[in-house]
Chains A and B, each alone.
Chain A
Amino acid sequence: MATGVAAWLPFARAAAIGWMPVANCPMPIAPRDNSKRQDELIILNVSGRRFQTWRTTLDRYPDTLLGSSEKDFFYNEESKEYFFDRDPDAFRSILNFYRTGKLHYPRHECISAYDEELTFFGIIPEIIGDCCYEEYKDRKRENLERLQDDQEENKDLKLPNMNFRETMWRAFENPHTSTMALVFYYVTGFFIAISVITNVVETVPCGSTANQKDMPCGERYTVAFFCMDTACVMIFTVEYLLRLFAAPSRYRFMRSVMSIIDVVAILPYYIGLVMTNNEDVSGAFVTLRVFRVFRIFKFSRHSQGLRILGYTLKSCASELGFLLFSLTMAIIIFATVMFYAEKGSSSSKFTSIPASFWYTIVTMTTLGYGDMVPKTIAGKIFGSICSLSGVLVIALPVPVIVSNFSRIYHQNQRADKRRAQKKARLARIRISKSSSANAFLQSKRNGLLNELLELTDTEEDEQKLSKSISLLESQHHHLLHCLEKTTAHEFVDEQLYEQNCLETAIQTYPSRSPSITSHDSSVGTCCGRRVKRDTPLPNSSLPSTHPVATHQSPLQELSAIHIQCGDPPSHGASRSNLNLKTDNSGRTNCQGGRITTAIISLPTPPALTPDGDGLHGPPQRRPPPPPGHPATPSIQTTTSSAGINIIKVSAL
């Protein structure tokens, strides 16, 4: 029941009076509305703009936020209103939905912002009214395509765990990913071109020899052309087999259009090899050669435009079908008319209706070869009508096809442009993010320096260094600090890290036990005590730390101070990737657990990740940030170490 008419329920119930006297059995007991709530005005404060409505208006749609008890979470006791910290402009249309029962999509809104609002308020977008639904769907589709393009970009990042087969497939599909792939791409392209040119040149008359007249080149230099052909086919065969091997789903690959074209391109050669040089079959053999021209379609792997054209034609199938159908109808009609009109005239070329088809087609497409011409007056009249109507019939579906092509082509252009812009955008984002992380490092350095100075009693300098930072910043820094303490590692910036990586020595423990890959449960000995790591990271599917502990203990005992190599994972394209300065895939962090008197924190992988952690909290599931940090005895001062005296932590 559309709850929009809920207000009329009393009327519907009253109308049941018509059933009472005719009923033979007693009626069920009516539900009582015990909450005898008077209809009251509700104030909805959305980011400062106050909306007011009746409670019953909102109650119309009980499965939304505003209509259910969920809004009680937003009730503000002091001001006796419901406060929502959302966009008031978008809220307008949402509230109108309750009032009028129709949800409209305001065209100036961004589609994803609007979607978010709808999701927040628990309204499904399918109920958008007909007036706005098309627009909404179009924009949503556009947005989705844009997102898909972005995702495809992310897929290009090399996943560390790809086996050979997957690498090969990726190389085939995206030539720009590696040099080998590019080389392969160009080589195949070159050979396709060679093959096509060979086919063409084969038929060109090459000049006459002594005893024979003009021969096509193919027959003159049979061997040479045969060698060329063989070479090309070999390359194509190898390529096809490689693709077949690398394809993730071989069955699907074999059914795809491109692979069929490949097969059709190379099959004639093999069939030709197999077939004997019999006179009877040589006719068929010649026909097979025609299929060699399909090699030119292999270019569609190399050319975006060709693919777009093919895709357009596919998507315009209905228009093309209509064109074909209407043309056929018109052809038949006019051919018949012309045949009967020209029947009387002598020596008429219009010998039958099918013979007139040729005339009709040539006339309707405005070709007009002139090999068949009407001679009677009636014939000429109908002939002119035929040519006039031909123009119309063809002109109708063509703009549809053209507009489709244009739309798809522009979309592709947009995708390419976005791809180019993306790198620059990401770089800029990275820079801006790094500044905030650097703030933490900076403040830490300041803090450390301060401590040092304290200890060495140089007061003047202290003032210089202590910058005033806001409460928010300090809380954030505290958070990062807690993280550091927890993992007993520290944040550093890039250069320091690389520096130390070069300098490290000694043992490298492959600290990664397979079961605890990215779950950096580092049980650290902090100040001699065992710190059970309480993972502050959300979403880390960390099993209990106990199993970890058992793994740790042997290592712990082995060496007090030891250096670990952690292998931080970095898979998953997510927002945290933007924060990662360095690509950690496969890189082992060999670090030195040297206890130095330097006020340097020892090498750790990029400091930025916890930034994302602390601030945003992972929006999607992703492994906790790479903590393959090893021991970081950061400060060893002459006297005692303030907090970070530590050390020998084995990180996994």
Chain B
Amino acid sequence: MKSRSQDQSLSDSRELDRSYDPLTGSTIDDAELSTVCYRPEGLDRLVQQTNFSKKELQVLYRGFKNECPSGVVNEETFKSIYSQFFPQGDSSMYAHFLFEAFDTNNNGSVSFEDFVISLSIILRGSVTDKLNWAFNLYDLNKDGCITREEMTDIMHSIYDMMGKYTYPCMKDNAPNEHVDKFFQKMDKNNDGVVTIEEFLETCQKDENIMQSMHMFDNVI
């Protein structure tokens, strides 16, 4: 693993230190150990709740548990894992948004169930579900509509992942231009926000997007 920041290693060691409660962020002593190690619900229940087979869930859990032995992922770990896949750029913002999307009950950590349920939607869900999930990702404050600012943030975070060394050279207003194009396409009634209906409608009519949604069919 590449070198992590001091904070990261500190949080990691605190995570591995069993007396640290990631939920409350405080160090507890051994007496209250039981609250820390998080276990997912039974395999069978998860099979029911998601569209994964038993074997797939096993593989997923093994990978999950290996990286997060305590059973939950906090945002720092999430970011560091995600950054491993994008060494050139800065993926922290996008990872942050992802984390928000995965963390459905907003408690600052992603358990295996959250993780696997979201994955199930993205990889095995219907196209509508996938689009819904994407909308949920974009809608940062979860108020049902994507504003221009939200979209700009998302766009910047995506472009940040590219890093500096790109061809052609990355211009500073590229994300903003892209946001404009997006709003042109999506915002039908030109009210400055994109609602879920507009989003779904536009996406279903766009061939490229439909095509790309099917890309996820074979990820696992």
Using a CB–CB cutoff of 8 Å, the interface residues on chain A facing chain B are 1-2, 4-5, 7-15, 17-27, 29-30, 32-33, 38-39, 54, 56, 99-101
Contacts and interface: CB of A to CB of B under 8 A. Distances in A.
B158 A30 contact: no
B68 to A, nearest CB: 10
17 contacts: A1-B84, A4-B1, A8-B64, A10-B219, A13-B219, A15-B98, A15-B122, A17-B122, A17-B130, A17-B137, A20-B212, A22-B155, A23-B208, A25-B208, A30-B218, A30-B219, A39-B58
Q: Which of A8, A11, A15, A99 has the most CB of B within 10 A?
A: A11
A7 B62 contact: yes
A17 B1 contact: no
B84 A14 contact: no
Contacts of B63: 7-8
A5 to B, nearest CB: 5
B6 interface: no
A9 B84 CA distance: 10
Contact size range, B = 35 or more
Given A2-B1, A7-B66, A8-B67, A13 B216 contact: yes
Contacts of A19: 158
A410 B88 CA distance: 49
Contacts of A100: 66
A27 B82 contact: no
Question: What 8 A-B pairs are tightest by C-beta distance, nearest first?
Answer: A7-B63, A27-B212, A14-B122, A20-B212, A26-B208, A12-B85, A13-B219, A18-B137
Contacts of A2: 1-2, 84
A1 B85 contact: yes
Contacts of A15: 82, 94, 98, 122
Interface in B197-220: 199, 203, 207-209, 211-213, 215-216, 218-220
B15 to A, nearest CB: 15
Contacts of B62: 7, 54
B133 A17 contact: yes
Contacts of A12: 82, 85
Contacts of A29: 215
Nearest to B9: A130
Nearest to B116: A11
Contact of B134 (A17, A24, A54, A56): A17
Nearest to B2: A2
A18 B182 contact: no
Contacts of A99: 66
B218 A32 contact: yes
Contacts of A25: 208
Contacts of B219: 10, 13-14, 30
B84 A18 contact: no
A245 B115 CA distance: 77
B212 A11 contact: no
B138 to A, nearest CB: 7
B193 interface: no
A5 B81 contact: yes
A39 B55 contact: yes
B98 A18 contact: yes
Contacts of B213: 17, 20
Given A26-B211, A27-B212, A14 B123 contact: yes
Given A8-B81, A38-B55, A56-B59, A18 B154 contact: yes
Given A7-B64, A8-B85, A14-B216, 9 more contacts: A8-B67, A8-B84, A10-B119, A15-B98, A20-B212, A20-B213, A21-B199, A22-B158, A38-B55
Contact of A23 (B55, B131, B199, B212): B212
B36 interface: no
A98 to B, nearest CB: 11
A33 B218 CA distance: 8
A109 to B, nearest CB: 24
Contacts of A7: 59-60, 62-64, 66-67
Nearest to B82: A12
A585 B219 CA distance: 69
A487 B102 CA distance: 78
Q: Which of A18, A23, A99 has the most CB of B within 10 A?
A: A18
A569 to B, nearest CB: 52
Contacts of B1: 2, 4, 101
Contacts of B218: 30, 32-33
Contacts of B59: 7, 39, 56
